[in-house]
Structure 1
Amino acid sequence: MDNVMKAPLYRDPIYDGAADPVVIWNREAKEWWMLYTNRRATAEDRNVAWVHGTDIGVASSVDGKEWVYRGILEGLDMEWGRNTFWAPEIYWHEGTYHMYVSYIRGVPERWGYQADMLHYTSPDLIKWTFQSKLNISDKSIIDACIYRMPDGMFRMWFKESNHTYAAESSDLYEWKRIGPVIQERWHEGPNVFRFKDYYWMIVDEWRGLGVYRSDDLLHWERNGLILDQPGSREDDGTNGLHADVVVQGEHAYIFYFTHPERTNSNEESTYGTRRSSIQAAELEFVDGVLICDRDKPFDLKLLPE
């Protein structure tokens, strides 16, 4: 059947560790690009070094159905050495792509090293210019998400201390800290979008994606949990992780990743438990609630923007 989506949607052919995807229309190339944390699942590193030393991987597609690996973003290093880049957010505004990406110096073998938020700009998603390290927190911050407010200001949501915090800017360059936004159970990876006359935020709770709904992007109410139940498609039998959403008219498509061979978080680190796959599903709005049936056939066809 034409409307049965390929699963998994995408696997990185070099390191097999595609994670934290963001999907954006490349206005210059006239194709969709997926940028992601290029985890090194095939590397037999000590401890968790394999999740560090990561580049930003790039895949492209005409319509979102078939993706081809294109390489990594180059020229991001603003200091010497092999360093770590995580979870890019890309926002296009007035002819310029803005990327906010989490950065850790070096290749740590354990968790807990300082992560900073870096800002880059590009005219084409290929050539990047370093702008600044954002001064919005003295703690580690990762997983930026940008959305423009009704008053024209830009808001950034990000993970700090396992909760969602926010900052705002009038020009995407200078940012002012706002403070905490979502402080319920621990989570990461906030993603904000507009769908069916509401604003939505999804967060990765490591047991599925928590859903919040808002009328104004300021006040958020809990709306449920999605991608918490195993799916039946290949590589889709575990909870969905850190996701991005593309909305086109009456359709909203979610791009998330899974660790297909993990059965619990304490398993020994092997290639099987490290590898990850990108999946796609369609979101639906039913009786005021955002839902996602990951097994339901749908026709993913991203249109040019």
Structure 2
Amino acid sequence: MGTYGKRRANKHGQRDEGYRGTIEGLDIEWGRNTFWAPEIYWHEGTYHMYVSYIRGVPDRWGHQADMLHYTSSNLIKWTFQSKLKISDTNIIDACIYQMPDGMFRMWFKESNHTYAAESSDLYEWKRIGPVIEGRWHEGPNVFRFEGFYWMIVDEWRGQGVYRSNDLLHWERNGLILDQPGSREDDGTNGLHADVVVQGEHAYIFYFTHPERTNGNEESTYGTRRSSIQAAELEVVGGVLICNRDKPFDLKLLPE
């Protein structure tokens, strides 16, 4: 894990560059515009990307954000499909999961809470409404692990955890990544996480702002610097837990 993100020499002795440029086909109009929080979902040979789109390059949140849908066969060249008509306000942080009955559900952030929409084909979506309210949060992510469905949301003080048996009704299950870790750059809250489940193991990927200590510091390079971290999740007595200091082997295998 310590070598991730570094440049390495290939078999010809040349340096491999990690950054390859901007993917093709995103522009839907002229100008320099920005894309936020993409969710990519593979289904029956096609990749579907749902990404929030903002005109211009804002330096703060509050501009109109629309959810756009693209498709691709190779993750490089994308074709615009539509702007989803599921909200009249700012929406971001889409998460897709297929329901037991075959329908697809999307959870997303609207008005600092989690809302949902559903679709039978990943193209036409119908708004459902609020799912998780209460404390403000963002970044819902849903996964199945150890016999339950789980949703994590970023509460900016750690990840709020919810548990479900049917993906419809959610109950609060606790808070993880709220206590600082001891690894390098891991001494603050874990932010905006995602989870990869591999067999009997579940790995959570999150980021920290390692030089933020009070949460309201002046915006500088140091306080904006981010560090990507990973840890393993466990379920103990029906509760999702994460010991971010516990050593683990990260084994990501093709499905």
Alignment TM-score > 0.5, same fold: yes
Task: Name 1:51's counterpart in structure 2.
Answer: none
Equivalent-residue separation in structure 1 for 2:210 and 2:199 (angstroms) = 31
The correspondence of residues 158-177 of structure 1 with structure 2, limited to 5 A, is 158-177=108-127
Query: Aligned-pair distance for 1:10?
Result: 4.8
* Cα-Cα RMSD: 1.6
2:194 matched residue in structure 1: 244
Partner of 2:162: 212
Q: Which residue of 2 aligns with 1:186?
A: 136
Where in structure 2 are there 5+ consecutive unaligned residues? 8-16
Secondary structure of the residue that 2:222 maps to in structure 1? Answer: helix
SS at match of 1:72: coil
Matches within 5 A, 1:70-219: 70-219=20-169
Residue number in structure 1 paired with 2:10: none
Output one character per residue of 1:275-294: Cα deviation in whole Å (capped at 9) or x when no partner: 11211110001111000011
Q: In the alignment, residue 152 of structure 1 is paired with which amino acid?
A: G
Paired amino acid for 1:238: T
Q: Distance in 2 between matches of 1:86 and 1:128?
A: 16
- CA positional deviation for 1:209: 0.2
Deviation at 1:68, TM superposition (A): 4.2
Cα displacement (A) at 1:70: 3.9
1:241-297 per-position Cα deviation (integer Å, ceiling 9, x unaligned): 111111011000111111111113321111111111211110001111000011100
Runs of at least 5 residues in structure 1 that lack an aligned partner in the other structure: 14-66
Aligned residue pairs: how many?
246
Residues 71 and 300 of structure 1: is their aligned pair in 2 closer, same or farther, counting only changes over 3 Å? Answer: farther
Change (3 A) 1:70 1:251: farther
What SS class does the counterpart of residue 135 from structure 2 fall into?
coil
Cα deviation code 1:69-124 (max 9, x no counterpart) = 44432331111111111111010000000000111100123321111101000001
| Candidates 206, 214, 237, aligned match of 1:256 | 206
- 1:8-23 matches, within 5 Å, as 10=5
Distance 1:276 1:101 in 2: 21
Match of 1:6 among 2, 9, 12: 2
- Calculate the TM-score normalised by the size of structure 2: 0.93
Flag the structure with more relative contact order, 1 or 2, with Cα contacts below 8 A and sequence separation at least 6.
1
CA drift at 1:301 = 1.1
Report what 2:243 is aligned to. 293
Query: In the alignment, which residue of structure 1 is the partner of 2:222?
Result: 272
